[in-house]
Amino acid sequence: MSTTPPEPLLSCRDLTRRFGGLLALDRFSFELFEGEILGLIGPNGSGKTTFFNVLTGLYRATGGEVEFAGQRITDLRPQQIYRAGISRTFQRSRLCLPLSIFDNIMVGNHHRLDHGPWPNLFRRSLLRRQLEASFGESRELLQIFDAALAQRMREPIAGIRLIERRRIEICRALISRPRLLLLDEPSAGMTRDETTRLMDDILEVKRRFGRLTIILIEHEMSVIERCTSRCIALDYGRKVCEGAYASVAADPLVRQAYLGIS
Amino acid sequence: MEERSGSFGRFAALGLATAVATTLAAFLSIESDRGILTLLLIIGAGAFAAGRTGILRPWFRQAVEHQRTTGIGLLLSTVALCIVFRDDHFSLFLIGRVLLIILACLGLHLEFGSAGVVNFAGAAFFGVGGYTAAVLNAHSQMPHLLVLGAGGVASALIGSLLLLPLLRTRGHYAALITIAFGLLFRTFVEVNDSLGGPQGLKLDGLRILGWRFNDQLAIGPLHASFYANYVLLAVALLSLAFALVQRLEGSWIGLALDAIRLDEIAAATFGFEIARWKILAFTLGNFLIGVAGALSAFMVGFLAPNNFTFPESLTLVSIVLLGGIGNPWGVALAAFIVVLLPEKLQILQEYRYLLYASLVILILRFRPAGLIPRALRRYFGQPA
């Protein structure tokens, strides 16, 4: 074992995002280490999704700093943050409905695809090889989540059930082998059984991908309890509490703000 | 089994191409309004019956499956039409015009069918190509094949000026920018005396490698109207453009264009440089429109600001809408309908813009996906 403490993969210092008079994120600071699964909880409007949007560059931070893998990523554009190795899913599915499952997963694979005119327009045998390799790779990934779905790779998303779409969205986020995966309420709208299965799948992916780090926004407390090694509770954009699930859930502030127990 | 379906497929593809060409030949050779209306009724009834019974569906499926054969079939059919109508100036001119309109609409198809960049100034870019050709034709010794290319390049360059505001706006605002540009272009050529002002400019015939396009085409004992030259060149350019568009779409580039059209935010989150892809589609699209405009100017031999008005741009848009946004085959079919119908039906002639405008409204209301809706993305002839 190394004696020096490991460098955090992600560290946020006083991250702030203001919308007019509203502080959606208020001096949010924390550190995340490689391989962790961090749960992010808090009532609706407490700034969880805003945090994801600031982190992925969709919103500009009003103040504070983010460092990822030793690189300052505050104010980078979404494209640069994706290339740095952060990938996400959305609270409301943002898949491309007319495109097939395969195409949607390939959207997530953007920076590993070859966009040069040579293979795309002229040497089509090259494109065919790339296509076959990518097809195999994405089918293998989807198989972890849903073997039946992996047989339907060429079907358009429009005909796929919502729960299955969420699995595809996670595959889209995973195909580029990110170092940090942001999951925004993956279990929303799912039954308890489906949620349990999805969590099993995520843990399985984590096992296979080894060092994958995950931040999970989730309302379903059983999921947080089972999957996360640590969690943070937000309220009005501020960090209320941080620690293992048991201690966070027991915190009086959290119980009041979130669980509605006074 | 594989073999049999393959040969049936090629047969179906060629059969459909022949059927299309025959219908077109009949349409072009009938002179009276009553005859045309009868033919339209027959086609309409046939299409309706085929749609209801689904009897032609396997044929169409095969034609799509064997796109290359279909394309070659259509190419040969056009050559056959050139032979059939060899001394009919007007019919050949119409065929040439339709082919060039399809070429221009393929450009629009790349722009808003693939990348989702609106362009309501199609006629203006067509005009940029035409005026560039006219000016180079009058004032330089540039070989005419290069002049056609220069028409495309000029159109693409002027389009890139428009990109600055276009990339910063979305939806209605972007549409308005292109409309404003269209009006601006027309006024610009109208007040600019060196470009002929409202009277316009004349062009000499096209010459490529000693092939004089305005002379009668003579191959052995066959003589044909000089328009046959232009039709053949238009077919060649259109085939190239079609191949380019098809390949582009069935590639990672096509996927990128689809992704940014469908969801810019998701695309940005997955690393797509939105501006880069929009620039590519808009530039390439305007290039095609410009080339079409340049060749059209040579074919007509004359240019005037009135040919490049907003209603003309709307016509191009209505073709893409009618055909089916995102389906180049649909665009080709719609171009035939929209361009030929008013030419052959004298009653419609005066009311053509009325027809186009109502067409846009009716399609958007009742069949927003167009005559031939967008197909599921494919990478090669067969699904990936």
pLDDT band at A4 (very low <50, low <70, confident <90, very high): low
Chain B, residues 131-190, CB within 8 A of chain A, namely none
- A121 and A78 part of one domain: no
Interface contact A177, partner B, CB < 8 A: no
- The complex's ipTM works out to 0.90
Contacting residues of A for B376, CB less than 8 Å apart? 98-100, 154, 156
pLDDT band at A18 (very low <50, low <70, confident <90, very high): very high
List the one residue out of B381, B383, B324 whose CA is nearest residue B70. B381
Interface contact B380, partner A, CB < 8 A: yes
pLDDT band at B7 (very low <50, low <70, confident <90, very high): confident
pLDDT of residue A259: 64
- A166 and A195 part of one domain: no
Instruction: Quote the mean pLDDT of chain A.
Output: 88
| Across A204-219, average pLDDT | 87
In a domain, A90, yes or no: no
- A60 and A190 part of one domain: yes
In a domain, A228, yes or no: yes
Q: Where exactly are the structural domains of chain B? A: 1-84, 88-366
CB contact under 8 A, B269 and A88: yes
Q: B183 versus A198: which is more confidently predicted?
A: B183
- A194 and A249 part of one domain: yes
- A161 and A32 part of one domain: no
Pairing of strands A213-217, A37-41: parallel
CATH number of B88-366: 1.10.3470
Place of tokens 């002179």: B31
Q: Of A117-126, A244-253, B150-159, B271-280, where does mean pLDDT reach its minimum? A: A117-126
Contact A55, A127 (CB under 8 A): no
State the nearest Cα–Cα gap between B18 and chain A, in angstroms: 29
Q: Cα torsion for B188, B193, B195, B199, to the nearest 10°? A: 100
Contact A245, A224 (CB under 8 A): yes
- A7 and A128 part of one domain: no
CB contact under 8 A, A107 and B384: no
Contact A148, A197 (CB under 8 A): no
CB contact under 8 A, B268 and A77: yes
Distance of CA B2 to the CA centre of its chain: 35
pLDDT tens digits for range B100-127: 999 999 999 999 889 989 899 999 999 9
Comparing alpha-carbon positions, the chain B residue that sits nearest to A113 is: B252
Q: Final residue of a domain: which of A143, A177, A211?
A: A177
Residue A49 sits in which domain range? 1-85+180-262
Interface contact B244, partner A, CB < 8 A: yes
Chain A, residues 199-228, CB within 8 A of chain B, namely none
State the nearest Cα–Cα gap between A257 and chain B, in angstroms: 31
pLDDT of residue A125: 84
In a domain, A91, yes or no: no
In a domain, A120, yes or no: yes
- CATH code of the domain covering residue A76: 3.40.50.300
pLDDT band at B292 (very low <50, low <70, confident <90, very high): very high
Q: How far is CA B230 from CA A132, B103, B212, in A?
A: 42, 13, 10
Q: What total number of domains does chain A contain?
A: 2
Interface contact A103, partner B, CB < 8 A: yes
- A184 and A260 part of one domain: yes
